[in-house]
Structure 1
Amino acid sequence: MVTDVVGYSRLMAADEDKTLAALNTHRQIVFDPSVTRNNGRIVKLMGDGALVEFLSVVDAVRCARDIQIGMTAKEGEAGIVLRIGINLGDVILQNDDIFGDGVNIASRLEQLSKPGGICVSSVVQENVGGRLNIAFQDGGAVSVKNIDRPLKVFHWHPEDTPRASEFFVERADPAPRDAEHAIAVLPLDNMSGDPEQEYFSDGISEDIITDLSKVSGLTVIARNSSFAYKGKSVDLRIIGRDLRVTHVLEGSVRRVGNRVRINAQLIDATTGSHIWADRFDRELTDIFAVQDEVTLEIVNALKIKLSPAERANINDTGTSNIDAHEDYMRMRGFLFFPGMNAEGWKQAVLYGERAISKDPNYADPYGMLALMHLLDYHNHWSGRTSQEAMQEADKLAAHAVEIDPDGLWSNHAYAVVARWQGKLELASKTLEKAMSKSADYSLGWFTKGELELALGRLPEAIDAIERAIRLEPSFRHQYLQFLAMAHFLKGNFETAALLLRERVLLVKDTDIGRAWLASALGHLGEIEQARTVWTEMMEINPTFAIRTRLARLTLADPSHEMMMLQGLSKAGLLEDA
């Protein structure tokens, strides 16, 4: 988002002191609070203008709307009127600054904006879709300096009278929003002097993440993204900026015999100052109570009020058997390991079965084992048939739900197994039970998005996958595929192409990403580019069969599969679509 003050030079010439005072007041009262409220980061201030980046297009447009509406009431007294331009596109990050075509286009859009209004690119208008109550007016295609193609632009102004049109969106914004506080729990350092205890310190970190994610007044970054900083010496303020969090938890774990010491400190990610710190020395048998205590101390330090249900969820560990929980932690570490293979899978299953043997009524290992056997269904690591692996996954997931009907992992496992059995509605209902236990469960949000996509509920799919990316930015490269497919099936071909280009850039060997990109380009009439992408895809996987891959998605609406095939047909890549 690029902003600029209308007639700034004239205002300064007339009364410099008054203009500067009005600009500062505007930033303090309207601009800065709107940016913060909508997950933005002010990249730089440029005299009378600003460059701001956001987590999503919806955040950017909502922020711009809030600013312009907020300024309407103050225009007469302050004399400050803004033009705002918004674009979605690639940027180059250098230190704290951003560059590139994405920024250049936003700057040109700002110049095209009406005073007090907003001008957006077509990909922004397309991406926002029905998620904000904004009526964009078609501004046509415009040629601008230093951009080698005409820009299709759309305008909005507070004085515009909303009216029904193809650009008018009536659906209220249902997308999940960040809570006031957002936190990243860094992996606690293993101070035991034994590398074999790494699983233990990692497991405690992950348990704290899981407990915090059950608090509705807190946004919690998922394990894989916060664990990306493991073993690295990084300024916590940089981590806060990268993960868009207000606070960071760091610390260490020392285990000696049957004694455990946990040091933890909560840091303000903006200033780097300590909010809270404490040390816990306990017997190993008290480890569950210690984890709960750490979680509650963080909640208290942030002045978040827990509901009775949230407090009960935090205290619910699922077992009192420390040995069973340790084996479960070992298995869980394998599930989230990015290089999972057949050997790792066998070790994980062994730990899961050991956990169950030590506590047959511990539901979480059954749910996790179900997911492990589902991985075997896809990857054939055990040598069994897909049908045998699915039967085992189904049996374990059903037993997990029988033990803990309301559990997070038991219901999530059951939902994922049902999804791959083609029972989409059952999977959706079961997943809702899992997510009711955790407000910020990133894998749950992704699974929800995947299910909504298959069911054809595309706006809901987009909201859910964007939330998953917010909570787990390190998995963005994987989630982009499904986010792009949801936009594609909604007819947002320009947005889909933009996201798929990023996916191809981040995952060099993706065949399915290139297939969907080729189809999106076919719909956009970019035939030569579509054929180039398709050629690259066939070089990566000469046996690629698009209809087989589409069948695995189990799309409920037959027209959605046809839409994908038609794009390839338009590009001359498929004859019989």
Structure 2
Amino acid sequence: MTVEFDVDQYASCGYYAADVMGYQLMTTEDPKAEIEVSRSGTPAPMANARRWTLRRISGPVAGLAAVGTVLAGLTGYWTTYRTVTGELFAPVKPGPTAPAEAARFSIVVLPFANLSGDPSQDYFADAITENLTTGMSRIPKFPVIARNTAFTYKGKNIDVRQIGKDLGVRYVLEGSVQRDQNRARVNAQLIDAHSGAHLWADQFDTTRADPLQMQDEIVARINSTLRYELTKAEAQKSAIATNPDALDLATECVVSVLDKAGLFGKEATVCERALDADPNNVTALSMSSIGYTLAILLGRSNDPRVDLKRADELASRAIAVDANNPSGHLAKGNVLVVVRRFDDAIAEFERALALDPNVAEAYGALGHLYVDIGQYEKAIEFFDKAIGLSPQNQQLAVWYMGKGHAYFGLQQYDQAIEWARRSIAINPSFGSAFGTLAAALALTGHDAEARDAEQRRAALSKVKNVAALKALVPPSADQRVRASFDRAIEGLRKAGMPEE
């Protein structure tokens, strides 16, 4: 699908923002293999038995002496035989070998401990472990140790560094479960298997009447969070690599785009280096595309036409390389949002979720899209799904900002103020969040606070006056969207935005 470019089509879109973590990381089978140690199949050559010639000796004493001599000879033979054959039949010990380097992103999910004080709840902790293992194994390029192997460590107090050596993994996920009737609390922590350092830890609480729904909610949240945490950990390793390869650079590209919510200067260089190293790397292609569209959608692009064309080329290439990779469809959906082909964009985002329902960024992208077309209730629903699935996501500030826009569109100004402030608390560089805050404060009579918010918005945004703001409203905008813009302009005027 090729996008036709019309500069008037994407001149707005200042309220929309989205990002991705569903980078494609591949699953492999259990890397731990049994090594058969060969044994020698040839017995030791038997020593020549002593030949005893018993002369005929009369008398009982002579007979006893002969018997004693025979027994002594047999004892000597047996001792020699046992020593020689014992050495030859002993298992062959393999010589020392250098340990193989653990595969990138490789991880084992250790059995979660049941802290409920009720042995009958073991099944629930085991189910969490199994579902986490299954969910992680579906992510391309994430080598996950098989469930049967992981469960051999159940109930054992073994240092994670030893487990890392035994299984050849870089990371260990461990945790515990406490369940009481309809409530469950899960603690999870990600550990570097080489150093034993804790990389991430969190606590998840949920209340569900249905145990299966409870499991699904917990597993989805942990899986979604782990994607970014593992990618961030790998990016830190890649940043200090002496000779970074294509995967190192692609990982750095992901984190750079996510942290900066766009593709600029240094971040663009990292992503371009990743593509130079491997032009068909789907992660680098998708994240580069998303980086360019984010810059446009957040009003930070210096040349939207050029950036949009580049974003479309990269997204199309990602899908051509692997049509079953959700990140490529997420990237394409962003491009289609910029050019206001909303139905096609929805299809791309839904395709990404069909491929992987744990991509929180796809839910967030749909939330922003529904803000753009004035379906504010539906937008809030999708933002809530994204936030619930990944409450520590790098895009949390953007999702909060989107909820603020949606509540403003619904004229629920107190809620708009709350969510705009939440967004600013996480990332105070979003001018759009300050715009929502200033307008909502002004419309509810908080004049002094509104003026302060408008001044901070003006310092961050290229939009300096009402005339420039009006130019952002596309002629094809839904009537509800135009009405929301009109109210925003009214509020910003009250907050001190000049006309020209």
Q: State the TM-score, normalized to the length of structure 2.
A: 0.48
Greater Rg by CA: 2
Q: State the TM-score, normalized to the length of structure 1.
A: 0.43
Is the strand fraction higher in 1 or 2?
1
